[in-house]
Amino acid sequence: MSRPRTNSLTPAASASQATSGADNGQRLDRAFLASLARLTAGVSPAGLASLYAEWLMHLALSPGKQLELGEKYHRKMLRFGQYVQRLAANPGAEACIEPLAQDERFSGAAWQQWPYNLIHQSFLLTQQWWHNATTGVTGLSSEREQAINFITRQWLDRWSPSNSPWLNPEVGSVTLATGGQNLVQGWQNLLEDWERAMAGKPPVGAEAFGVGSELAVTPGKVVYRNALIELIQYTPTTERVHAEPLLIVPAWIMKYYILDLQPGKSLVEYLVDQGHTVFMISWRNPGTQDRDLGMADYRRLGPMAALDVVTEITGCPRVHGVGYCLGGTLLSIAAAAMARDGDDRLATLTTLATQVDFSEAGELMLFIGESEVSFLESMMWDQGYLDGYQMAGAFQILHSNDLIWSRVIHEYLLGRRRPMNALMAWNADLTRMPYRMHSEYLRWLFLDNDLSGGRYLVDRRPVAIRDIEAPIFTVATTGDHVAPWRSVFKIHLLGDPHEVTFLLTSGGHNAGIISEPGHPRRHFQMHTLGKDDHYIDPDTWRETVPERRGSWWPAWQQWLAEHSSGPVAPSRLGGDRHPPLDAAPGHFVRMP
């Protein structure tokens, strides 16, 4: 008798098929999410929906908060009604609500005239009520509260009367005066910008700021190149130089020449003229083929490879390490690993707008949840990298009134092009980030905060910032939304070096760092905390440390000079072992 046939597979075949099915399902999920991410500009719908659902649920379970919001609504309606009555008797009556100090949307005289005063006052009262509705809800964590408040504020800013051609008095008066030609010109500006974006061209006016001709023009040579970096050594301008050279590690989410912008506004030029030997890393713009480059590759091929070359060229065993933004984080990781392993080649460590503890990383953390990171990983998995436009969009949202809606008003509603400048041209020169590196960066540093927790691994062993014994100089800026100064200040809690000098300067993430001597309206505070000094909290620090007028560059340069061993003859570019390969700014910085 024959055995009956069965459709069942052997256990091994069944497991193989199950694994294959799971892989296929995962690939389908990633492909779908990648397509969805392009439509949503990288914002996770699931994360957004869960955030609002959580807020609504906690609000529904808070009858006291509901009563409070109801009372606030009626009080605001009463205030607005009284304001209308005052206006009827006195057109110059005092406003019932003032905008925040940084909100200049309604500062024009036309906004104080009827009916625009009623329009913008009503909007500000509504905005204030929504702020109350999204804060102080029992059971909602501070992180989720900040996120829901931020997103609601962005939504309200979108519907601000200043963004409407029918409600904005300046747009209305210009439209009447020009017979609508401003809207015609604005439409042409919009089409031109859209066409350039689709073709991958720089914005209007950026052609006047060429890399190597108008920007990044400090003389030097590329003395080393590997798969990820070019190393530039700049030509000395003094007969004698400080013995210890500087190695600058910029962030790879930006082109390096923010630090060599143009004559008179170049940190590199300033340092060279002060007698420093300066080396700069220029990162290659990665493509799809670089999807598997990780944080370890960036550390190994970046600062560690460059450090070997710098010491070989100069013959000096000690180097001043300088890191900017993400480059400062990477250099801090490298410095901690070097200290752990007994490598004492860093004479000092300077970090510019750099975080090593991401527990309070500001509004950028609103984009860094598990749902959002997974969503971004699917998008990067599909293309192999995070596109510069996708990263720029996230930063623009942090300053939406200044970077998005202000542009909409001036260039599209008023039809007036803003003149291009060097910083704007640099900002439009976008870069990409490999899939693996950016995923590791988001998870290990932002999401899990492994570096401050002693869990970040270098060569399979953890590193700690407190192991760094080199003197540290840390610069933060008051208007930084990418690396908030209180977050940068946490270096005092993580480090146990001989000294930490903390400097807080006016300006933002980029403009505060590019703060050349003679720059108007610049001021800073600086204080050194010795090894045996007691910790000062950031608020007390800011209240007690005296303010100085002017640029912070000379103060830092003096600190570098004090931590150098004396003057020597300048090194020949490239030395004996690294003959120059190309003239600065090199090839990598020009890669699209």
Catalytic residues: 325
DSSP SS3 for 399: coil
Q: Cα separation of 517 and 558, whole Å? A: 14
Question: Which of 260, 185, 222, 306 has its CA nearest to residue 429?
Answer: 260
Which burial class, exposed, middle or buried, applies to 96 when counting CB atoms under 10 A from its CB (0-12, 13-18, 19+)? buried
Residue carrying the six token digits 């036309």:
110
Burial class (CB within 10 angstroms; exposed 0-12, middle 13-18, buried 19+) of 429: buried
β-strand 346-352 against 319-324: which pairing, if any?
parallel
* Residue 350: closest CA among 267, 283, 254, 262: 267
Distances (CA, A) of 49 to 156, 157, 306, 378: 17, 20, 46, 19
| Look-up of token digits 């397509």 | 35
CB atoms under 10 Å from CB of 427, counted, come to 18
Angle at 75 between CA 73 and CA 76, to 5 degrees: 65
Are 408 and 196 in contact by the 8 Å Cβ rule? The answer is no
Burial label for 461, CB within 10 Å (0-12, 13-18, 19+), is exposed
- 443: phi > 0 → left, psi -120 to 50 → alpha, else beta; which? alpha
Q: Which residues of 241-272 are buried (b: 16+ CB within 10 A; e: fewer)?
A: bbbbbbbbbbbbbbbbbbbbbbeebbbbbbbb
Q: How far is the C-alpha of 572 from the C-alpha of 209, rounded, in Å?
A: 30
Q: Which residue, chain included where needed, has tokens 């892989």?
A: 23
Is residue 211 a contact partner of residue 429, using CB atoms and an 8 Å limit?
Answer: yes
Q: Which residue has the tokens 């610049």?
A: 522
Instruction: Report the candidate in 512, 499, 503, 477 with the shortest Cα–Cα distance to residue 555.
Output: 503
Strands 567-568 and 547-549: unpaired
Q: Which residue has the tokens 């990983």?
A: 377
Q: Among 506, 470, 178, which residue's Cα sits nearest to residue 323?
A: 470
Six token digits for residue 508: 């933002």
**Pairwise CA distance, residues 167 & 159, whole Å:** 11
Per-residue DSSP letters for 136-198?
A: S-TT--HHHHHHHHHHHHHHHHHT-GGG-TTT-HHHHHHHHHHTTHHHHHHHHHHHHHHHHHH
d(CA 85, CA 81): 6
- Contact assessment for residue 129 and residue 69, using Cβ atoms and an 8 Å cutoff: yes
Handedness of CA 371, 376, 379, 380 (dihedral sign): negative
